[in-house]
Amino acid sequence: MMEISKNIETLKACRFCPMCRHVCTSGNISFHESDYPRGRGLILDNILEKRMEYTSDLVQSIYNCCLCGLCWSNCEGGYMPHKLILSSRTDIAEKGMAPEAALKILESIESGKNPYGRKSNAYKGTGKKADFLYFMGDYIKFSGHPIADSVINIMKKAGQEYAILEEEPTDGKIMAILGFRGKAANAAKSLKKRFKDIGAKKIVVSDPLSYDCLKNDFPGYGIDLDARVMHISEYLEECISKGKIKVGKVNDTVTLLDSEFLGRFNGIYKAPRKIIKAVAGSSFKEMEKNGKYSLATGEAAFLFNEKTGVMGKMIGSRLCEAVNYIDAGIAVTLSGAAKENLGKCSNIKIFEISEFIWQNIK
């Protein structure tokens, strides 16, 4: 049975519906009808009804989706096209039709290299046993060392005993996003064993992809984590509210870029705001589109037209324009990927949330 058949209601609803066109991230980058949920619905309907087989051309449209979930947020019917896309990618990968670029990312992950294709060293772990585990996730492990440094500095300041897995393995989230669900499940099982071995009772994660993976994917694989999972923003909020760390004030206007995988898919909106407001006070300013309706940050924008690294930049330039519009001097992101996608946005200082707190800690 095809995985997409599990999302048949969404498929049949989306195939003729253009009502989320105005918010679709990939569609409003390429403007191709095949890059909107309606176009993808038509394609997948043909596949489901066995009128055609996947071709590399059709596969491209399915992988152009950045899974931001804005279509779902704006759907009065509550349909979830991002779930349909994930299920179709699983079907595609099982047929051996995954795009070359996706296979390269998979190969990098499986060989313990940077999935984003850059030459970089993995962040070193502590190796010791501890109740409290900091889990970086695939992005920060390779490409976001300053973020990890900030987290560690804050934990030390808070007097927190912690551990980091030595040679931190992947959580499998990127594999799952690219359709390699079986491999993702195996990675998750291996990781669970590592969590158990280290004795983790509380796991604090930086990457929203990892948070979503531990919270939602693991139960889907039948894995009971037996540990409390927190996003770093939730941990920081706890530290500030319990007085474990004290933060200073900034005079600049600060805004928050909500995360699709943390906010839209897991409802975490309050904690990041609380800690930013602790620093920024009344100079915190919401983005024009925020919360449920926030713009995509490109956390899962791995491929576009079979190329890597392209879509994130396009998403970043839209974000930059939006931050500039509200005249914020500082933009705080909830993921390393969002920070990278924003890139060098003129006149704006960009921090991942741990970096922002560490910069302003007393």
Partner 1 sequence: MAGIKKPSYMFDMVLFELADIVGRENVSTRQADKIAYSVDYYWVPELWHDRGMEKPCPDYIVFPSATDEVSKIMAVANEYKIPVTVWGGGAGSQGGALAVDGGIILDTKKLNKVYDIDLKSMTADTGAGIIMQHLEDMLERYGVSTMHIPASTYCSTLAGFIVHRGTGVLSTRYGKMEDMIVSMEVVLPTGEVINTPVVPKTASGPDLNWLFIGSEGTLGIITRVKLTLKKLPEVRRFQAFIFKDLASGLEMGRRLKVEGLRPSVIRLYDEAETRGQVKRVLGIDKKGFYLVYGLEGFADIIELESKKAFNIGRELKGEDLGENPGKKWWDNRYKFFFPPYCFALPQAYGTCDTVAAYSDIEKIYWAMKKAAESRFDSIRFIGHFSHWFEWGAMLYARFIFDDPPEDPHQALYQYNEAWNVTVRAALKNGGVINEHHGVGLKLSRFMKEQYKDSFKLIKGLKEMVDPKGILNPYKMGLGKE
75 touching partner 1, by CB under 8 A: yes
- Of 83, 58, 90, 56, which Cα lies nearest the Cα of 68? 83
Mark the segment that binds partner 1 (CB under 8 A) among 11-19, 120-128, 166-174, 346-354: 11-19
Strands 202-205 and 132-135: parallel
CA distances from 319 to 119, 123, 171, 331 (A): 27, 28, 28, 10
| Sign of the C-alpha dihedral computed for residues 240, 241, 242 and 246 taken in this order | positive
In the list 32, 118, 228, 307, the residue contacting partner 1 (rule: CB under 8 A) is 32
Residue 341 corresponds to which tokens in the numbers above? Answer: 């996608």
Site string for partner 1, 77-106 (x = CB under 8 A): x-x---------------------------
SS3 333: strand
Mark the segment that binds partner 1 (CB under 8 A) among 34-42, 95-103, 122-130, 228-236: 34-42
In the list 34, 73, 150, 333, the residue contacting partner 1 (rule: CB under 8 A) is 34
In the list 1, 57, 243, 282, the residue contacting partner 1 (rule: CB under 8 A) is 57
60 touching partner 1, by CB under 8 A: yes
Closer residue to partner 1, CB minimum distance, 21 or 83: 21
Mark the segment that binds partner 1 (CB under 8 A) among 39-47, 86-94, 188-196, 252-260: 39-47
Residue 203 corresponds to which tokens in the numbers above? Answer: 């796991």
Strands 349-352 and 307-308: unpaired
CA distances from 119 to 108, 116, 142, 298 (A): 11, 9, 9, 21
| Sign of the C-alpha dihedral computed for residues 231, 68, 347 and 322 taken in this order | negative
Smallest distance, partner 1 to C-beta of residue 140, A: 33
51 touching partner 1, by CB under 8 A: yes
Closer residue to partner 1, CB minimum distance, 2 or 130: 2
- Of 190, 182, 144, which Cα lies nearest the Cα of 334? 144
Smallest distance, partner 1 to C-beta of residue 80, A: 13
Task: Give the angle 120-138-147 at the CA atoms, nearest 5°.
Answer: 75
- Of 343, 300, 303, 301, which Cα lies nearest the Cα of 323? 343
- Of 179, 81, 186, 175, which Cα lies nearest the Cα of 137? 175
Strand (E) or helix (H) holding 255: strand 254-256
In the list 4, 7, 11, 39, the residue contacting partner 1 (rule: CB under 8 A) is 39
In the list 4, 38, 66, 261, the residue contacting partner 1 (rule: CB under 8 A) is 38
238 touching partner 1, by CB under 8 A: no
Q: How many residues bind partner 1 (CB under 8 A)?
A: 36
17 touching partner 1, by CB under 8 A: yes
Smallest distance, partner 1 to C-beta of residue 7, A: 14
Mark the segment that binds partner 1 (CB under 8 A) among 36-44, 130-138, 173-181, 210-218: 36-44
| Sign of the C-alpha dihedral computed for residues 318, 325, 356 and 213 taken in this order | negative
Closer residue to partner 1, CB minimum distance, 88 or 233: 88
Looking at residues 256 to 315 of the shown chain, list those that interact with partner 1 (rule: CB under 8 A): 288
In the list 49, 243, 282, 346, the residue contacting partner 1 (rule: CB under 8 A) is 49
Q: What does the binding site for partner 1 look like in residue numbers (CB under 8 A)?
A: 13-22, 28, 31-34, 36, 38-39, 42-43, 45-46, 49, 51, 55, 57-58, 60-61, 74-77, 79, 288, 325
